[in-house]
Amino acid sequence: MSAPRFHFISGLPRSGSTLLAALLRQNPRFHGGMTSPVGGLFMGMLNQFGAGSEFGPVLTHEQRKRLLLGLFHSYYADQFDKEVIFDTNRQWCAKLPAILDLFPNAKVIACVRNVAWVMDSIERLYRGNPYETTKLFNDESERITVYSRVDTLAQRNRLVGYAWGALKDAYYGEHARALLVIDYDLLVSAPEHVLRLVYQFLGEPWFEHDFAHVEYDAPEFDQGLGLKGLHKVRPKVEASVRRTVLPPDLFEQYAHLDFWKDSQYSEANVIRLTRPARNIDSDRA
């Protein structure tokens, strides 16, 4: 049996990565899910290899590659009956040179969303768990108000800030052609059109998905994080309209960070609205 093809799901939190994985796994040839431990193990191994580590000087370049490939193959050994495996982690956008060296034909699908609405979605979940402190924040000074919470999440080494910086790194980097950017609003408003473009980008034959009966939940993981419902996917894929829970000045502060709308300096593939507005097309996909 040949090894599966590996692709990666990354991008911003609360932007549809779990929904996308839940849809893709409907295809019996595919395996996907929420964020896996592989990214953390990958980084841990890189730290063991790195300059200044005890073992770095005795590991050759080829040994390092074999060890990292072995990590993927060992973790997904139970899924080797699948033809395609999607591993999800926000850090893959920051590691394109490494993963494309390990998997030269791999693609990275980055889910994005207006950053103000990302913050709104996390804040809404936080308010929905009023008797939890959640591991997203280290102390009371970070979680005390909506302003401290959002500002903390936006820091470059925290949940949203790190993901945004990693995505920007990939979007303008030399490996951007391996990247496909999907806007959450398009995914939920026209899921079949978007998914057909994803299949086209991956070079895979189309599979008829059921957009009215999508299943995914990880209650134990979410409970451990102190944020119930973080990875629960609603059964039907559809857009919803709501008012933001953020104060207007805070919403405005983060509403204009969607750099992926400007393709002038990037070779990344972006699924975007064309004109007239209801039509969906892919830029370079």
Q: Order of strands, edge to edge, in the sheet holding 30-31?
A: 30-31, 84-88, 5-11, 108-112, 179-183, 269-273, 280-283
Predicted structure pTM score: 0.91
Please write the tens of the pLDDT for every residue from 106-154: 999 999 999 999 999 999 999 998 888 888 999 999 999 999 999 999 9
pLDDT at 224 over 90: no
What's the pLDDT score for residue 56?
A: 82
Q: How confident is the model at residue 276 (pLDDT cuts 50, 70, 90)?
A: very low
Backbone angles phi, psi at 85, to 5 degrees: -120, 130
Q: Are 124 and 246 in contact (CB under 8 A)?
A: no
Average pLDDT, the chain: 90
What's the pLDDT score for residue 208?
A: 97
Closest listed residue to residue 25, CA positions, set 215, 183, 260, 174: 215
What's the pLDDT score for residue 54?
A: 83
Q: How confident is the model at residue 239 (pLDDT cuts 50, 70, 90)?
A: confident
Q: Which residues pair with 114 in a beta bridge?
A: none
More reliable by pLDDT, 278 or 198: 198
What's the pLDDT score for residue 26?
A: 96
pLDDT above 90 covers what percent of the chain?
74
